Amino acid sequence: MAQRRLLVTAALPYSNGRLHVGHIAGAYLPADIYVRYLRQRGDDVRFICGSDDNGVAITITAAKEKTTPQDVCGRYRARQEADFDGLGIRFDIYGGTHSPECVELHNRISQGFFLETHKKGLFTKKTTKQLYDAQAGKFLPDRYVQGTCPFCKHGGAYGDQCEDCGRSMDPLALIEPRSTITGSTPEVRETTHWYLRLGEFEARLKVWLESKRESSGDEPAWREATLNFALGQIKASLPERAMTRDLEWGVPVPLPDDPDAAGKVLYVWFDAPIGYVSFTARYCERADGDWKAYERWWKDPACRIIHFIGEDNTVFHALTWPAMLMAEGSFQLPSAVVVNAFLNERGPDGAMLKLSKSRMGDDSALWIEQFLKGYDPDPLRYYLTSIAPENQRGAFEMREFLARNNDELVANLGNLFNRTLTFAKKYFDNKVPEAGTLADVDHELLAALPAAFERIGHQIEHFHFKAALADLMQVARSGNQYFDAKQPWAQRKTDLAGCGTTIHVCLQMIRALTTLMAPFLPFSATKALALLNVPADGALAWDPASARLTAGHPLGEPEVLVKKLDIPE
């Protein structure tokens, strides 16, 4: 397959909190596996991510922590970047929509995007009544108003919906409304905003989404749940959505001649996906010295754009964002939006618990920061991939994590490395023995390796990461089966050359496994190269021919590849 050009993005984390295992399982780990694989294949890839720093929630966190929005997003952004790094999730750029490095370019590109859409007349300017907190000096998002439900008279109803009777409502209908920010009684004020008429894109979106049901060329089909959900929304008709907000924190609405635009910013969901573009531009500026080179990725159909997101982002990435791109007109549409469901935590009693800031304590091991203090990243990458919520929700369970590390990663994959390497050390002078005369079983195992590259690569190409990992483990298992069937420990005494053949074949297998595991377990793959004494440079190319050892090659010092973890009683 020829070299391809791909731009891969992972959802922008909102920079008012830390990352937990659910974030990682949802968008970032699958994206990282995909990108690592593409790079091993030799494709030209950019991997883009960064923090989503704008919006009202940041300002509220800032108020709560008695600091500035800039401080909040700067602090959490740095924390998130460190967490990603610790897990081996390596972006080409980790931008930030309000980070010092990116904000200027981000604002410029976002405003250009808005203006182009505005020029085409695709916004409707509309004045509506909204609740205003005079004490806080800001309009209140629906969710920040609480009062008595006009339908069931329940006391704790929110401005958009009553938790008790489940009915949704207009916040103006709430009885005795209160601002949840200051506790004061809000007043009704008029405000003007720009609404994107999503309805005008329904037909085009529908055709586009329907075309994603089948794979075309080597572009895989989208997940069915994603398409059903998005198409269901279209069927129910897409509303006008306000693309501006009354707020001081964000990208200013670029209409200086319109007094109604004063003091307003772009809706955070309008500028966030544009962050993918502006971070790409910032990276191009850094790498190529020309920010405009981003067009090579975003406006050239020869490049393929893949977005990895969690399920809550489906509406924005499968509908709103493509509609924005259609509206603006000069960008290409994403090739794929890869959506994972949520990951929950399984409680001791088997109950499904949501991963949430409010429920999890600060020192919960499910925060990445905490997790990395106790464990290596690869076991987590393994476990999260093996339970990846690709089709339905999954659940994290600490005991299961430990058990699967020991019973699968250590016992199967790690053990195959260890028994092969220690055997070579003990009986073959720590060198790769001659292949010798190959019997059918030996041929079969060697022939299975290129097939595994093909198969696992195909699974990754199609975003079936869980299946790809299971396949990898099956390959390792077949190695253990081969080892047992050949009984080199017995061969050694009767047929030393045959024993050499066995170990030669096993070494070829673990060498191939090193390359095959690299997208999922990058740290272990690096360590495996050291154990095999193979120079890292170019060693992980996704190519069975280059993942081969020559007879006589000296090996490194044997050492355990994956550590066993203690399971508390």
Partner RNA sequence: UGCGGGGUGGAGCAGUUGGCAGCUCGCGAGGCUCAUAACCUCGAGGUCGCAGGUUCGAGUCCUGCCCCCGCUACCA
Q: Which 263-322 residues touch RNA, going by CB under 7 A? A: 309-313
Closer residue to RNA in complex, CB, 3/392: 392
- The one segment of 17-25, 92-100, 251-259, 432-440 that binds RNA by CB under 7 A: 17-25
228 binds RNA (CB under 7 A): yes
82 binds RNA (CB under 7 A): no
The closest alpha carbon to 59, from 95, 15, 101, 102, belongs to: 15
Closer residue to RNA in complex, CB, 286/354: 354
484 binds RNA (CB under 7 A): yes
The closest alpha carbon to 60, from 50, 73, 51, belongs to: 73
568 binds RNA (CB under 7 A): no
Q: Which strand ranges, in their side-by-side order, compose the sheet holding 5-10?
A: 93-96, 44-51, 5-10, 303-310, 336-340
389-418 positions binding RNA, by CB under 7 A: 389-395, 403-404, 406-408, 410-412, 414-415, 417-418
Task: Single out the residue of 75, 78, 192, 229 in contact with RNA (rule: CB under 7 A).
Answer: 229
Closer residue to RNA in complex, CB, 261/562: 562
Least Å from the CB of residue 213 to RNA: 11
Parallel/antiparallel/unpaired status of strands 157-158 and 44-51: unpaired
Least Å from the CB of residue 13 to RNA: 4
Q: Give the count of beta carbons closer than 10 Å to the beta carbon of residue 330.
A: 10
Closer residue to RNA in complex, CB, 83/133: 83
Torsion 535-537-540-545 (CA) sign: negative
69 binds RNA (CB under 7 A): no
Closer residue to RNA in complex, CB, 166/538: 166
232 binds RNA (CB under 7 A): yes
Closer residue to RNA in complex, CB, 478/533: 478
Closer residue to RNA in complex, CB, 332/422: 422
Per rule CB under 7 A, count of chain residues that contact RNA: 87
347 binds RNA (CB under 7 A): no
Closer residue to RNA in complex, CB, 37/382: 382
335 binds RNA (CB under 7 A): no
| Helix 268-288 × helix 321-328 angle, to 10° | 70
| Helix 415-427 × helix 522-532 angle, to 10° | 10
Residues 431/496, Cβ–Cβ less than 8 Å? no
Which position has the token pair 């699958």? 30
In 363-413, which residue ranges form alpha helices assigned H by DSSP? 368-374, 377-386, 398-404
What single DSSP character describes residue 506?
H
334 binds RNA (CB under 7 A): no
| Gap between the Cα atoms of 131 and 158, Å rounded | 13
Least Å from the CB of residue 296 to RNA: 27
The closest alpha carbon to 146, from 127, 167, 163, 121, belongs to: 163
Interacting residues of 167 by C-beta distance below 8 A, sequence separation 6+: 149, 151, 152, 161
Task: Single out the residue of 119, 153, 204, 426 in contact with RNA (rule: CB under 7 A).
Answer: 426
Helix (H, G, I), strand (E, B) or coil at 167: coil
350-379 positions binding RNA, by CB under 7 A: 350, 352, 354-359
49: β partners: 94
507-546 positions binding RNA, by CB under 7 A: none
The closest alpha carbon to 92, from 300, 308, 280, 302, belongs to: 280
556 binds RNA (CB under 7 A): no
139 binds RNA (CB under 7 A): no
- The one segment of 88-96, 231-239, 432-440, 513-521 that binds RNA by CB under 7 A: 231-239
Closer residue to RNA in complex, CB, 438/470: 470
- The one segment of 103-111, 342-350, 526-534, 541-549 that binds RNA by CB under 7 A: 342-350
385 binds RNA (CB under 7 A): no
* Site pattern 452..481 for RNA (x: CB under 7 A): --------------xx--x--xx--x--xx
Q: Which helix (H) or strand (E) holds 420?
A: helix 415-427
Q: Give the count of beta carbons closer than 10 Å to the beta carbon of residue 163.
A: 10
